Structure 1
Amino acid sequence: MTSHDPSDFKPTLPFFRHEHELLRDTIRRFIADRVLPQADAWEEAGFVPREILREMGELGLLGIRYDSRHGGSELDTLATVVLAEELGRSTYGGFAVTVLVHTDMASPHLFHAGTPEQIDRYMPDLIAGKKIAAVAMTEAGAGSDLASMRMTARRDGNEWVLNGSKMFITNGIHADLYFVAAKTGAPGRNRDISMFIVEKGTPGFSVARPLKKHGWLSSDTAELSFIDCRIPAENLLGQEGKGFYALTRNLQNERIVLGAQAMGEASRAIELAVEWATQRQAFGAALWEKQTIRHRLATRLAQVEAARSLVYSCAWRDAQGQQVVKEVSMVKALCGDLVNQVMYDCLQFHGGMGFIRETAIERMTRDARVQSIGGGATEVMLEEIAKRMV
């Protein structure tokens, strides 16, 4: 019987270069040394300590695709996939999404749309982990349907005045910098959305309440409130009225990242299930001797490898500057559903222990549930695919 050491897993597809593998090794060592020994405590506390993110910044893990002038590594989409996959393999989804929201869902808005002054002011600290970012676009009645956003921003002299609320905001409690979406057009012009930079402590801006979640317990999540929140006019991020397109553009990157995270989680769950099945005795033999268990796990592994190849291909095409809207939607729909199917089987084969909070597979199953919801629900992604089939 072979050993199933998690360090055995390293993709060898031709998409990856030497620098990608060095990055993978760095992330894997950091997780083993600094995350796994402490992450249970973060689950209890409800957030990842800021010093951990600063350490990741010092290792260059928070600015993988950003320019070197501000401390970034100038790598590509495939490098981001390596980061997301390895974070997913940590088995702590809350830690993973805390990092990925900062690196690939929030800070890209500044990098792509910020003025030189805005980028020089904020980007070095974001890359170094000295400041943590959140993106505030979702509302209680506007998730996948961005056009239903109700939060407003109106110009008043040299200021913008923000009013409204945001819901389900990851890093919402402990972030230092928020990239906030609000309606700036006339009533009825649904896509007149603009993006703004709001710093923690700005008068009129507050955390309305922390949110207790089914999973991702170590990611701090909040509802945010903006009541006559005044920010300088220069805190407009990008062009007025063009925020809808900025949001949808960045969602493509977000969905690749979430797909990679999901497949990292799924592959590690299968490894844990195989380890358990080869050790657990039942009816006079190891569970692994039951053909139905071997075959189910073999089927899931084949599905995960196929989905991972789609993620890699999509990331490679994105790195070449190709349009991958349909493919990204496939990644999000396929990986978000598949990781939940994998977790269901892996928990099932753990038996009663899979239902106990002290096991990784129980936590991973809870964490995976949101993968078919956040970043674009499966049903919305399938519609995006269908629209591009005719």
Structure 2
Amino acid sequence: MKRKTLYWLLSCLILVGLFPAGASAQTESESVIYGGGPFYSGGTATMNTLKQSGFTTVMLWTIHVHGNGDLYYNDQLVVSNGSYVGNSAWPGQLATLKQAPTSVKRLEISVGSWGVSDFQNIKNLIASQGTGTNSILYKNFVALKNATSADAVSFDNEDLYDVASSVSFGKMLSDLGFTITLCPYTNVSYWKSVKSQLGASVDRIYLQVYDGGAGNDPAYWNGQMGMTVMPGLDSKTSSGGNTPGQVASRMAGWKASAGITGGFIWYYDAILNNPSAGSAADYAAAINNALSSPSSGSLTTGGTAAASSTNSPAGEEKEKAFDGSSATKWLIFANSGWIQYQFGNNAAHAAASYSITSANDFPARDPKNWTLLGSNDGTNWTTLDTRSNESFSSRFQTKTYGLNNSTAFKYYRLNVTANNGGAELQIAEIGLYP
């Protein structure tokens, strides 16, 4: 039988889907979190939360352009007369977002929102001063870029659908080194024209699928815009919105119907105000898990699961570690144990590497020491890898380990102990990928 390269995936709570360079088993998704005041006033603590969240992009929502060209981050004046005048600590705090270890790869600035006159003010400023180096728009956005080191500016235009001024504004931003993203919820013709005229400067489209855009179909917008959109949902509030589970379900549906590879959550402030519905990390995992998928599917189907203990609660039995969903898990009330998978139809496969992703919300449940074993009869076992005193410093941290093994095995077993003091052990998902 032709030897196949497999990837062993073990998640203690939620599988994020991060793989080492060169691995082809997983396609990583893009997840975006919008946030307002807390991103400005929350300081280092908020930056650390974002870095550990699993979100790949942070969106500073939102910059307002006043009639005189002053730039406000919500109600805080940050740029005036070509100079940054905001909180002196903020630029340094933002700079840490992409410093390892972090899930954040990109920082964006959103301009506009509902019920404002930002794009009307932009149009007026362009009409009176243009977009050259002496214009206040140019000077102020240079200052904003220098202060934030943002990668992109996102157009959340909901007040004036004027193509000419939007394109002029976008070209100016592109000349400053910004990438442009669009965030529509209505008026397809306007957004099509802006995208067409800005061309390659536009690399993402964030489609609002909540409030006024609740009826939007990502597949339809894909066709209209000539680009696969990244739909967004609002987080759960007392009056509506979506739980992490609902986000995961809807994102998975759009992946099937529209081929999406990214999505966003609006917004961090509401998540803080309703912590019982889920954390920022829970929402990031909902997107990442729904959209990150093996290129050819898990091979852990049609086989048989076994475990050292049968004291799992209902709905958290050993089979849940092999059901293809990181929303479910195997849990035992013990500090140590084992779980294994037996391939059906006498099939044998070889493992080349495996990875462990930690939830870290209950550190005592995290794996501490483990051994990965292989067997062809379920009795005689070969040790494939042993790890001791492992630790996970952040939520959803993934650790990947290579195996120098060329033997094919029918059974794979993981002997594992929980972290110090842990009286419970849990695994969300174990998969083998070609």
TM-score, length basis structure 2: 0.26
Q: Which of the two has higher C-alpha Rg?
A: 2
More strand per residue: 1 or 2?
2
TM-score, length basis structure 1: 0.28
Q: Which gives a bigger RCO, structure 1 or 2 (Cα 8 Å, sep 6+)?
A: 2
